[in-house]
Amino acid sequence: MLRRTLLCTALAFASAAVAVPAMAQSAYPDRPIQLIVPWGAGGGTDAVARILGTLLQQELGVPVNVVNRTGGSGVVGHSAIATAKPDGYTIGVVTIEIDMMHWQGLTALTYKDFDFLAMVNADPGGVMVSVDSPYKTLPDLLAAIKEKPSGTFKASGTGQGGIWHLGLAGWMLSHGLKPDQVTWVPSQGAAPGITDMVAGGVDIVPTSLAEGRSMIDAKRVIALGSMSPERQELFPDAPTLKESVQSDWTLAVWRTIAAPKGLPEDVATKLGVALEKAYNSPEYKKFMTERGFGMRWADGKEATRIVSEDDATLGKIMKEAGFAK
């Protein structure tokens, strides 16, 4: 593998040297592309970016380097994408947090600062409890939440004011309950939240079911419900909120590929086509289904529409729940 990399280096070096005179009029892309990920190596967004980067590299014929710009709950990375030169050599993964952080007063950045190229994935939220929980169905759980005093139940799975915290608040609001009827225990992601639930620390984890897949398979965690319009393929036993407790609340976190605002038309088209090919490749499909990630395609225009709609919905809920500043 190292040898292969070395060989590639040598080849790239040689071809670069030959290509110098032709470079002036060569078409996009003629040098490596940076794919900025606003979240850390090891997380779901990073994984999706890396497989997509590999496939894009094959389509475009230039290296696509995944670069993690982490911190500040995604603010740093999203700013890095938005403020880059809109020349097509810096693109990035923009996640649902872009529709939240400006409401929280963390940044002035909104979805309007990006040119969206495609939406490549969406994961609906869910409701999970430990196998030791006395509540085995969603109606049971909801009845208990309603009946017991506010704050009896504790939930976890992301930071304070994070997307899943919002998802839980939205679900509570949809039943006319207070958004903080269930107390939120901040955690550094879904995995620590689920671990803590199994250890008996919290009662509910409302993250995407994919995050809890191994524990669901190990019969340590029960998926009580899914915050999607239809049941999820990988978790057929988890009913939707609609069919189980007649709630209209749905939430899905998505990942899009976007560029800084002002990308030239031809570059956007070229990237869009390459992304669609990468998305439709068997490798991508296999990767996503094996990891339990939801497949979701939308082209640039459609993605922009979904992102702007979610911006309005999330803003409304965040104001009601008292998250917005």
Partner 1 sequence: MLIFEQAAALVFDPYVLGVILASAIFGMLVGAIPGLTATMATALLVPMTFFMDPVPAIAAIVTATAMAIFAGDIPAALLRMPGTPSSAAYVDDAYKMTQSGRGDEALGAALVFSAIGGLFGSIVLMTLAPALAEVALRFSSEEYFWLVLLGLSCAVFVTPSSPTRGLISLLFGLFVATIGMENPSGEPRFSFGNLELMAGIQFIPAMIGLFAISEILRTVTATIPRQKIPRSDGHGIFKTQWKNLKKYPVQTVRGNITGTALGILPGAGADIAAWISYAISKRFSKTPEKFGTGHVEGLVEAGASNNSAVSGAWIPALVFGIPGDSITAIVIGVLYIKGINPGPTIFINDPQTVYAIFMVFILANLIMLPLGWLAIRGARPMLSIPPSTLMPMILIFCIVGAFAIANSTAGIVMMLIFGIIGFFMEENDIPIAPAILGMVLGPMLEQNFITSMIKADGDIFRFFERPIAGGLGVFTILIWTLPLVMLLLRRRKQARLAT
Partner 2 sequence: MIKLSELHLGILAALGGIVLLFASANFAPLPGQAYGAGTMPRLIGWCAILLGCFMVATSLKHLPEMAKPHLADWVRKPRLAFAALACLAVIVFYILFAETLGFLPTSFLGLLALMLVLRTKWPTAILASLATTLAVYYAFSRLLMVPLPRTEFLSFLG
**Interaction with partner 1 in 108-167: which residues (CB under 8 A)?**
151, 154, 156, 159-162
For residue 139, is the peptide bond before it cis, meaning its omega torsion is within 30 degrees of 0?
no
Given candidates 214, 246, 269, 313, which one binds partner 1 under the rule CB under 8 A? 214
Q: Which residues contact 101 (CB under 8 A, 6 or more apart)?
A: 73, 74, 75, 78, 107, 109
CA nearest neighbour of 49 among 92, 111, 16:
92
Q: Residue 232 CB, nearest distance to partner 2 (Å)?
A: 32
CA-derived radius of gyration, the chain: 21
Nearer to partner 2, 53 or 294 (CB): 53
For the CB of residue 321, give the shortest distance to partner 2 in the complex, in Å. Answer: 10
- CA distances to 27, 98, 302 from 312, rounded to whole Å, are 39, 12, 16
- Rounded to whole angstroms, the Cα distance separating 215 from 194 reads 8
In this complex, which beta carbon is closest to partner 1, that of residue 107 or of residue 244?
A: 107
Q: Is 324 in the site for partner 1 (CB under 8 A)?
A: no
d(CA 157, CA 195): 10
Kindly tell me which of 52 and 307 has the beta carbon lying closer to partner 2: 52
Applying CB under 8 A, which of residues 104, 110, 183, 281 lies at the interface with partner 2? 183
Looking only at residues 25 through 44 of this chain, which bind partner 2 when binding is defined by CB under 8 A?
A: 31-32, 34
Candidate ranges 9-17, 91-99, 108-116, 243-251; the one touching partner 2 (CB under 8 A)? 9-17
Footprint of partner 1 on residues 18-77 (CB under 8 A)? 40-43, 46-47, 50-51, 53-54, 66-73, 75-76
- Residue 183 as a binder of partner 1 (CB under 8 A): the answer is yes
CB count in 10 Å sphere of residue 46: 18
Total count of residues recorded for the chain = 325
- Select from partner 1, partner 2, none the partner in contact with residue 218, using the beta carbon and a kind-dependent cut-off of 5 to 8 Å: partner 1
**Total site size for partner 2, rule CB under 8 A:** 22
Rounded to a whole number of angstroms, the minimum distance from the CB of residue 51 to partner 1 is 7
Name, in order, each residue with C-beta under 8 angstroms of 116's C-beta and a sequence gap of 6 or more.
94, 256, 257, 258, 300, 303, 304, 307
